[in-house]
Copies of this chain bind each other. A is one copy, B any other.
Amino acid sequence: MRDVAKFADVSVATVSRVINGKGDVNPETRKRVEQAIEYLHYKPNDVARTLFRGKSKMIALFVPDIMNPFFPELARAVEDVTNKYNYTFILCNTDGDLEKELTYIDTLQQKAVDGFIIVSSTITDEMLKKISVPIIALDRFFHSELASITVDNYQGGREATEYLQSIGCQRIAHLCGPESASNTMERLRGYMDVVRDTDWFLSSYLLSCNYNMEQAKVMTMEMLRNHPEIDGIFAANDVMAIGAMKAAEQLGIRIPEDLAVIGFDGISVGEATSPTLTTMAQPIYDMGTRAAEMLMEQIQTQVAPKTIETFPVHLLERESTKRKKVAHG
């Protein structure tokens, strides 16, 4: 910058004015400075700016694990928005581990990140207190004091279950995610409200699986052996639904003829399985976009409106439930 100033025969202050387009600069001077910048290939040092401003134009996204296909799409959406605003995007895998989250928070705040978007089941007040910049909860709800973007998980759980009924399923099991995650608990509630008062419901139709495919497969296999009467499975995410389908396949149970399977999320892998997976699709990319936009707004305006936004889910009917509709009941 000093070089530029010298070259254009002005002071660094003027160079700064030109770069930032702030303050009045004589058009001729401006031109001279611009040429000097061009000629010297000058690029402002962002670190120095950050030091002065206390803002880095970086935001971070915390996800439990990027290897679950749900999250790359979310990450992609956030990155696209941050690019639009000329921000830099930092992705952090937390493994759902509070320690890791806390470490990331410290490190990143020392680097003056301007905001956080967090997918986490382990958000604590301690954690929130540490964070002095805007923060948005995504995919999982924490409490009403924290701005959040989620889908209507309860409604989704309900619809998925009712849909299985509507295609003729008489015994519907549910694969639930980890208890700590608010989203899966809501989906469970939706399921329970449909099945609780039926004459067939058994508590052993309810499996707790940690959003994990391998585990879902093993547990489903055992359940289907003990309960051959099950003719429908609602899995709380697509990855578990795929595990359930693998289990059925291994047991020689046909999908969808003997057993209908519906997942939750709408990840594109669901199109790659055979049969393709019916699912309650979330508008994943839109949610990521919205969360990022909201964060940008909070960063720019300095106000945190604690908005709670809930997106709808929609039924994506594919092969794993494609039966002729049957009258039932």
Contact = CB atoms under 8 A, between A and B. Distances in A.
Interface of A: 43-48, 50-51, 56, 58, 65-67, 69, 71-73, 75-76, 79, 86, 88-93, 106-112, 213, 242, 245-246, 249, 268-269, 272-274
Q: A50, A92, A249: which has the most chain B beta carbons within 10 Å? A: A50
B272 A249 contact: no
A193 B193 CA distance: 62
Given A56-B47, A69-B69, A272-B269, A93 B110 contact: no
Contact of A272 (B46, B88, B109, B213): B213
Contact of A89 (B76, B91, B110): B91
Nearest to A61: B91
Contacts of A89: 90-92
Contacts of A86: 107
Contact of A93 (B76, B90, B272): B76
Given A65-B76, A67-B76, A88-B111, 15 more contacts: A46-B110, A47-B47, A47-B51, A66-B66, A66-B76, A67-B69, A67-B73, A69-B69, A79-B93, A88-B108, A90-B90, A90-B91, A242-B272, A269-B272, A272-B272
A91 B80 CA distance: 12
Contacts of A92: 79, 89
Contact of A249 (B66, B69, B112, B274): B274
A89 to B, nearest CB: 7
A47 B111 contact: yes
29 contacts: A43-B109, A44-B110, A45-B110, A45-B112, A46-B110, A46-B112, A47-B47, A47-B50, A47-B56, A47-B111, A47-B112, A48-B51, A58-B111, A66-B66, A67-B72, A67-B73, A69-B69, A69-B269, A71-B72, A72-B72, A86-B107, A88-B111, A89-B92, A90-B91, A245-B274, A249-B274, A269-B269, A269-B272, A272-B272
Nearest to A41: B130
Contacts of A110: 43-47
A76 B50 CA distance: 28
A63 B314 CA distance: 31
Q: Which 5 A-B pairs have the closest CB atoms?
A: A46-B110, A66-B72, A91-B91, A47-B51, A46-B111
Q: A58, A76, A110: which has the most chain B beta carbons within 10 Å? A: A110
A43 B105 CA distance: 12
A215 B269 CA distance: 16
Contacts of A76: 65-67, 93
Contacts of A91: 75, 79, 89-91
A79 to B, nearest CB: 6
